[in-house]
Amino acid sequence: MASHPPVVQRFLRYVAIDTQASEESESYPSSAKQLDLSRLLVDELHALGVVDAELDEHGYVMGTVEANVEGPIPVIGFIAHVDTAPDVSGKDVKPQLHVNYAGGPIALDAERSLTTTQSPELEQNKGNTIITTDGSTLLGADDKAGIAEIMTFVQRLRDDPSIKHGKLRIAFTVDEEVGQGTKHFDVKKFGAKFAYTVDGESPGEIENETFCAESATAVFQGVNVHPGYAKDKMFNALKGAAAFVAALPQKEAPETTEGRQGYIHPVALTGGVEETTLKMILRDFEEAPLAVFRAKLEAIATEVRESWPGLKVELSFEQSYRNMRFVLDDYPTVVENALEAVRRAGITPKLNQIRGGTDGAMLSFKGLPTPNIFAGGHLFHSRYEWIAIEAMEQAVETLVQLAQVWAEPAE
Ligand SMILES: [Zn+2]
C-alpha cells in the first residue's frame, strides 16, 4: 500500500468505510455510518494543518486553508460528499487493482466482467492502473475519489509553499445520493464566494449545466360501488390513470432521449378504483420546453376527463430545481478558471451538462455558484464502478492549478 501515490492510499482508506445513504430513513444524515468517514476526515485535516476543521451538528465537515499570498482574491470552496448510493451495497468493498491495463474486458468475479461496451472510456486507459470492485459491491469512487483528491490537494498546498493561493474552504457533505446534500448547508458560514463540487466523471470534464426539474401529480377521483351492482354507478379511477399513462409521449421519455433532450417520466402509480395517484417528473435544460410539457399534460387530463365522464382528474405541478447555468452565466470566470486549470494540468477541457441535478445546482441557487469538476470515476452506483489512478492524479493536479489561477491578478 505504501507504494501507491498519496491520493490512492487515501482513496483505498476511504472506500473501506461503509457510508451508504438510506432512502427510507427520516434522520439526518440518513445513516449514522456516514459520519465514520466524516470524523476520520476531520482528524486527517487537522494532521494536514487545517486547524479549524470540524464536524457540525448536521454532519458536514468544514475547514479552512489560509491564503499564502496577499491580495483581493475571492474565497474559493471545494466540496465532495461522503455518502454512497442506496442502490448497491458499499459494505466490505474490496478494491481490485489492475496494473498496466492491456485493454479488453476485466473480470470482476465468476459471472461479471467490466466491458468496453459498457464503458468505452476504458479504451483510453491502456497502460493505466484501473481500480474496480470484486463484483459484490459498488466501489464508492462517487464521491470518495473527490474526497481523496481534495485531501491530497490540501496536502500538496501544505508541502509546496511555491503554490500561491488565496483563502480556500473545504466541505465534505452527507446524503448527496438521496437528494439532501445541501439541506442544512450554511452558505454564509462556509463563507466562499464561489465553489466547485469534485464529483464528475472523465478527466477534463467541467459541468456547468443541470436539468430544470419539476414534478407533476395527477389525482384521479372515481366512485366505487359493489361491482355486482355497478352499472352506470361506478367510475373507475384506475382506468383513467391507465389512459393517462398510455397517452404520455413516448418520444419524450428517459429511455428515448439523450444529450440536451428533455422528457416526461411517470415514476409511481398508486391507488385503486376510488382514487389513483400518478406521479411524474418533468426534465429539460430550458424552462420553455417545461411549459410545453405542462401544457401536454393538461391536454391529456382534458382528454381523460372527456373519455371517462364521472372521473375527476386533478393535475398539479411543483418546481424542484433549475439549471445551474442560469446562475453561472452571471459569473463566467468561475467556469473559465476551471477550464484553464484543466488545460494547465495538460488535459483537453470539455464543458458538459448533467442529465440530473447536483448539490452544486442547489448551492448555486442558494447564492454560491458551484460548477462540477471531474473526479475520474465511471459507472457510478453500480458493481461495475471503476476509476483509473491516473485520472485521480489528474484531478489533484487540476485542483492545484485552479487554486493558482484564482490567485493570479486579473488582467
Ligand atoms: Zn456523487
Q: Express each pLDDT in 135-150 by its tens digit.
A: 999 999 999 999 999 9
Question: Element (H or E) spanning 35, and its range?
Answer: helix 34-47
Q: How many other C-beta atoms lie within 10 A of the C-beta of residue 315?
A: 18
State pTM to two decimals. Answer: 0.90
Q: Which residues are known catalytic residues?
A: 83, 176
Distance, in Å, from the CA atom of 159 to the CA atom of 406, rounded to the nearest integer, reads 19
Q: How far is the CA of 271 from the centre of ligand 1 (A)?
A: 34
Class of 6-210+323-407 in CATH? alpha beta
Exposure b/e, 119-128, CB count within 10 A at least 16 = b: bebbeebeee
Q: How far is the CA of 52 from the centre of ligand 1 (A)?
A: 25
Q: How far is the CA of 145 from the centre of ligand 1 (A)?
A: 10
**pLDDT range class, residue 3, cuts 50, 70, 90:** confident
Q: Is the pLDDT of residue 116 over 70?
A: yes
CATH architecture of 212-321: 2-Layer Sandwich (3.30)
Distance, in Å, from the CA atom of 275 to the CA atom of 377, rounded to the nearest integer, reads 44
Q: How confident is the prediction for the chain on average, in pLDDT?
A: 96
Q: How far is the CA of 405 from the centre of ligand 1 (A)?
A: 25
Q: Is the pLDDT of residue 318 over 60?
A: yes
> Using alpha carbons only, what angle is made at residue 317 by residues 26 and 265, rounded to the nearest 5 degrees?
80
Q: How far is the CA of 219 from the centre of ligand 1 (A)?
A: 34
**pLDDT range class, residue 409, cuts 50, 70, 90:** confident
52's grid cell: 479549524
Tell how strand 312-321 and strand 61-65 pair up.
Answer: unpaired
Q: What percent of the chain has pLDDT over 90?
A: 95
Residue 12 neighbours by CB under 8 Å, 6+ apart: 1, 4, 95
Q: What is the reported pLDDT for 411? A: 58
Q: What is the reported pLDDT for 179? A: 87
Radius of gyration of the CA atoms of the chain, in A = 24
Count of residues making up the chain: 411
Mean pLDDT of 215-239: 96
Tens of pLDDT, residues 343-392: 999 999 999 999 988 899 999 999 999 999 999 999 999 999 999 999 99
Mean pLDDT of 301-317: 96
Q: What is the reported pLDDT for 2? A: 54
Domain boundaries, the chain: 6-210+323-407, 212-321
Q: Is the pLDDT of residue 322 over 80?
A: yes
Tens of pLDDT, residues 5-62: 999 999 999 999 999 999 889 999 999 999 999 999 999 999 999 999 999 999 999 9
> Using alpha carbons only, what angle is made at residue 188 by residues 186 and 192, rounded to the nearest 5 degrees?
105
